[in-house]
Amino acid sequence: MLAGLQMFTSADSITPAELAVAAEQRGFESIFFPDHTHVPLGDGTSGYSGHDVAVYYRTVLDPVVAMSSAAGATATIKIGSAVCLVTQRDPIILAKQIASIDRLSSGRVLLGVGAGWNDEEMRNHGADPAGRFRLLRERVEAMSAIWMHEEASYHGKLVDFDPMWSWPKPVQRPRPPVFVGGGGPNVLRRVVTFGDGWMPFREGTDQVGDNLSGGVEDFESELARRIVELHTLAEESGRGRLPVTLFNGCPHRSALDRYRDIGIDRVVFWLPTAGYGPTLDTMDALARLLR
């Protein structure tokens, strides 16, 4: 089972480059960066208020910039997004950005994608929350066409363009792996339809070595059931085995053993947004746990 890290890096935290270098030195396989362009304030009348959103959502660095910085400072560690809100990004521009990072990193990009949860944030980008999942699929398919073909075109309901040229092409062929995030009722079919793997999310803020929190059995039994379902759907669709990357894995030895047993391929630990010294302390504790 592979092990990666994720952090909401900010202007006041350890830098993406420092984070990636330290992770690579400690033997972690991958590093992931999240995505929120902004946090709408809201007035609370509709049940939403930006004041209820965690501070790290407001201050997070752009994931494409963070990935670029991390890729340029490292040699072997995989560089990913967890998750990139494709519904809020122009697919032609994003396709070029991701292909450029994959080219400059010699093929180390892992692209986690998601439809987003903040309706107000989505609307500010001109996206209709009601159609977010179709928009996600069409934009991933459109980017894939750009990555895979010298003359790319795409004709969907929400994304439409005639033949174009766009370089560079990614090193990884036919495209960088696309991991579909989410835990909704239809996410597995989305994974099989336009993804290369599933990225479910575990709730919790456990510290390294903490006792397991409540609800573990229910979460893990349901996750195990859905992993079997994913493998069945993928086999029936001729996709082969699609990997599972668990986001925000519990940093506990017994949990890691169970994750491996139920078929998780990669576990990603969530690091608190912090400065250089405290972050390295947490990374060292995680590295000891993995050993």
Q: Is pLDDT of 212 > 60?
A: no
Total domains in the chain come to: 1
Segment 236-277, tens digit of pLDDT: 999 999 999 999 999 999 999 999 999 999 999 999 999 999
Domain harbouring 105, CATH code = 3.20.20.30
Predicted local distance difference test score (pLDDT) of residue 95: 98
Rounded Cα distance between 74 and 25, Å, is 9
Predicted local distance difference test score (pLDDT) of residue 205: 66
Which of 25-34, 39-48, 151-160 has the weakest average pLDDT? 39-48
Three-state secondary-structure class, residue 53 = coil
Instruction: Quote the distance between the C-alpha of residue 183 and its chain's center.
Output: 13
Segment 193-209, tens digit of pLDDT: 999 999 999 987 666 65
Relative orientation angle of helices 63-73 and 91-104, to the nearest 10 degrees: 10
Cis peptide before 174 (omega within 30 of 0): yes
Q: Is pLDDT of 213 > 60?
A: no
Rounded Cα distance between 219 and 7, Å, is 23
* The dihedral formed by the CA atoms of 262, 268, 272 and 278, expressed in degrees to the nearest 10: 110
> Hey, which residues does 271 pair with through a beta bridge?
7
The pTM assigned to this predicted structure is 0.94
Kindly report the number of other CB atoms within 10 A of residue 201's CB atom: 17
Can you list the alpha helix ranges (DSSP code H) found in the chain?
Answer: 16-25, 55-59, 63-73, 91-104, 119-124, 132-148, 187-194, 216-236, 253-261, 276-290
Would you place residue 46 in the very low, low, confident or very high pLDDT band (cuts 50, 70, 90)? confident
Closest alpha carbon to 190 in 136, 152, 267: 136
Cis peptide before 178 (omega within 30 of 0): no
> Which residues constitute the domain of residue 54?
2-290
